Amino acid sequence: MSLIQPHGGKLVNRQLTGDAREAAIKQAATLPRLTLNARAEADLELLANGAFSPLEGFLNEADYQRVRDERRLANGLVWSIPVTLSVTADERKSLTAGKDVALYARDNRLLALLHLEEIYGYDKQVEAEQVYKTTEDKHPGVAALYAQGEFLLGGKISLVNEVSTAFAQYRFSPAQTRELFEKNGWSRIVAFQTRNPVHRAHEYIQKCALETVDALLLHPIVGETKGDDIPADVRIKAYEAILSNYYPANRTQLAALPAAMRYAGPREAVFHALIRKNYGCSHFIVGRDHAGVGNYYGTYDAQNALRDFTAEELGITPLFFDNTFYCKRCDGMASLKTCPHDAAEHVSLSGTRVREMLVAGEIPPIEFTRPEVAQVLIDAYRVQAKAAAAH
């Protein structure tokens, strides 16, 4: 069997090489320049390497409006998150539609050219309500939206320098994961999205899914996340610990996804599924409150969002899992679908309680997390505590 087709049928590649790259670098010196923030840098990399296929750049107005309102591109293809580049009124003054713009990283490196097609205004509150289901700036995605400039730029991009080399050994492009899958003889690959370390409930649903496919792609977000999320380098160490001790090496692959979290719940679940389709995955795990934050979304809103589209439209098969836990009466991992016992029998710890235990150097119960993962987190909290004490 062959691998799943990319979204839209073709894997986009907007990375320049050779003479074209050299010419673009020379041209950039004569162009107006924009410095990107962390999210725009992440989006740029994923536009260039095909993770956002079929997008070839930042959305033009027709695509933006239909994505915002209908979760589709102007041509009708499913797409749930507006991938946009904003500028302030002052920045706009130096820009002209039809003229290229040089895009720079926060560390002042040239990254890409934007082939600017459109400059257009937009309503931030309408986007907040449609995409995030709230206009409250306490929501991190809405806060980021409100901090944007007043205008959006639409146009294709051409990457001339890599955005980042962080987590280089795991930073695979969609073309690279596809090559890896084919080399291993895998055609049915299930992806798991995470911004947190893997605990026993995650492990349970991953292994349930792994029973039915060829391989698991553990694909954590390593781009910008909330300030209180566990740092990416700590999470990577935790993934390495659990994979090396509890998963079959010949059927699992760890890869870093250099995306920024939007915390858009249902919309982001669809977005994450389409990205993994581009990476070559045939299946995508969706548990409770996928990509959620606070109490903005219902427990299974993300699963329902994926049910809004036909199998043909999505092209990737979502695997839905209920809330999972260790049940003392069942003497094993279970879910609300398989366990008949009261919640009092379930091992359940709040995130706050887990953090308190880790800070105190206590390993949470084996029913909640693997000790190897807990030790990575304890070590990280100790380093953090020492750094705080030094200040």
Give residue limits of the domains in the chain: 18-159, 168-257+263-390
Distance, in Å, from the CA atom of 314 to the CA atom of 277, rounded to the nearest integer, reads 9
What is the torsional sign of CA 326, 329, 332, 336? negative
pLDDT at 127: 98
Q: Which tens digit of pLDDT belongs to each residue from 45-98?
A: 999 999 999 999 999 999 999 999 999 999 999 999 999 999 999 999 999 999
Q: What is the DSSP letter of 328?
A: T
Own/partner pairs for 350-357, CB < 8 Å, 24+ apart? Answer: 355/381
Lowest mean pLDDT among 108-112, 262-266, 272-276, 379-383: 379-383
Average pLDDT over residues 9-37: 98
Lowest mean pLDDT among 68-72, 150-154, 266-270, 381-385: 381-385
**Is the pLDDT score of 385 beyond 80?**
no
Query: Nearest CA to 296 among 267, 317, 321, 273?
Result: 267
Q: How many CB atoms lie within 10 A of CB 132?
A: 26
Q: How confident is the model at residue 291 (pLDDT cuts 50, 70, 90)?
A: confident
The superfamily in CATH containing domain 168-257+263-390 is HUPs (3.40.50.620)
Q: Which of 71, 171, 195, 276 is catalytic?
A: 195
Q: Which of 196, 251, 323, 355 is catalytic?
A: 196
The verdict on whether 295 is a catalytic residue reads no
Indicate the pTM of the whole model.
Answer: 0.95
Distance, in Å, from the CA atom of 224 to the CA atom of 227, rounded to the nearest integer, reads 9
Q: How confident is the model at residue 331 (pLDDT cuts 50, 70, 90)?
A: very high
Q: Does domain 18-159 have CATH number 3.10.400.10?
A: yes
Average pLDDT, the chain: 95
Q: Which tens digit of pLDDT belongs to each residue from 232-242?
A: 999 999 999 99
The verdict on whether 196 is a catalytic residue reads yes
Distance, in Å, from the CA atom of 268 to the CA atom of 296, rounded to the nearest integer, reads 13
